[in-house]
């Protein structure tokens, strides 16, 4: 018995070791791609293999990053966009869930609204931008609304589907205990759909970035989206690239935070 157990231990150790090696290899290649990308960008821009006016170069972008950090304009624009996006996706998820709850509450309402949800979902929501801006004025309200409308309908549809898929026997248990419809919602429907709501949160982070950036394109006064349109207007593409890279970094960070929260909550 003993030797074979030792053998199993040994094999397990080897297996763990090979997993570690593989992971290190993956990380190494990822780093290589990163370095290769930026160095070849830098060099081809220096050698004028690509148009330096349009593509700028990493060194220029970093220079600009420091000067923008120094004069505070980057932080200002970044915080505006971050706040708009966070408020947008949280509101989009909450309002979408609320709408889904209303649909669940009244089967009649859900039947009546069904075709309208389909239309609204199919429609490209960013096209509503100009109307929102005129209606709500060029400011936070209209930009946040862009972030909200882009995610709210899809959230409603996904969460409502999750509500309806909750096993009706849980509701039977509650109704036998004399539970009201609200208690049924609160004790069974909502907690059973929590994983779905959290995962729509993850999708909505991405959607809200789109809505907010497009909103800032249109309003043109503050934010990373504004930095992009401004850079475009004055033909300063280094500024455009800087804004793009900052967006990429913060969109990823935000997505990872939500994914982390999801793992915490869904794992229980």
Q: Which residue in 198, 225, 247, 12 sits closest to 133, CA to CA?
A: 225
CB of 175 to another protein, least distance (A): 6
Could you give the 3-state DSSP secondary structure of residue 234? Answer: coil
Q: Cβ closer to another protein: 148 or 188?
A: 188
CB of 167 to another protein, least distance (A): 8
Residues 6+ apart with CB under 8 A from 198: 258, 261, 262, 265, 266
Q: Cβ closer to another protein: 185 or 226?
A: 185
Cβ(238)–Cβ(56) under 8 Å?
yes
Where does 13-157 show beta strands of DSSP type E? none
Q: How far apart are CA 116 and CA 157, in angstroms?
A: 11
Q: Cβ closer to another protein: 23 or 172?
A: 172
Q: Which residues bind another protein (CB under 8 A)?
A: 167, 169-170, 172-179, 183, 187-188, 191-192, 194, 268
Q: How far apart are CA 79 and CA 207, in angstroms?
A: 18
CB of 109 to another protein, least distance (A): 22
CB of 90 to another protein, least distance (A): 22
Q: Cβ closer to another protein: 83 or 171?
A: 171
How many Cα atoms within 13 Å fall on the side-chain side of residue 3? 0
Q: Cβ closer to another protein: 75 or 173?
A: 173
Cβ(192)–Cβ(132) under 8 Å?
no
CB of 166 to another protein, least distance (A): 11
């Amino acid at each position: 018995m003993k030797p074979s157990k030792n053998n199993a231990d040994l094999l397990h150790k080897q297996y763990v070791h090979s997993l570690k090696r593989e992971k290190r290899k993956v990380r190494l290649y990822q780093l290589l791609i990163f370095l290769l990308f930026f160095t070849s960008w830098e060099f081809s821009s220096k050698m004028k293999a690509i148009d330096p006016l349009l593509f700028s170069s990493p060194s220029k972008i970093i220079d600009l990053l420091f000067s923008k950090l120094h004069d505070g304009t980057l932080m200002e624009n970044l915080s505006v966009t971050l706040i708009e996006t966070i408020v947008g996706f949280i509101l989009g998820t909450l309002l979408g869930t609320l709408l889904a709850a209303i649909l669940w509450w009244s089967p009649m309402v859900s039947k009546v609204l069904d075709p309208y949800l389909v239309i609204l979902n199919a429609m490209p929501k960013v096209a509503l931008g100009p109307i929102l801006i005129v209606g709500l004025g060029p400011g936070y309200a209209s930009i946040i609304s862009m972030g909200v409308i882009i995610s709210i309908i899809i959230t409603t549809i996904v969460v409502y589907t999750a509500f309806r898929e909750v096993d009706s026997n849980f509701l039977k248990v509650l109704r036998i205990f004399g539970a009201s419809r609200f208690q049924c919602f609160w004790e069974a429907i909502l907690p059973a759909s929590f994983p779905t709501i959290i995962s729509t949160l993850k999708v909505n982070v991405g959607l809200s970035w789109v809505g907010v950036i497009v909103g800032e394109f249109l309003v043109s006064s503050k934010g990373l989206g504004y930095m992009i349109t401004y850079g475009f207007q004055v033909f300063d593409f280094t500024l455009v690239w800087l804004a793009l890279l900052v967006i990429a970094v913060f969109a990823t960070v935000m997505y990872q935070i939500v994914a982390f929260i999801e793992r915490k909550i869904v794992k229980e």
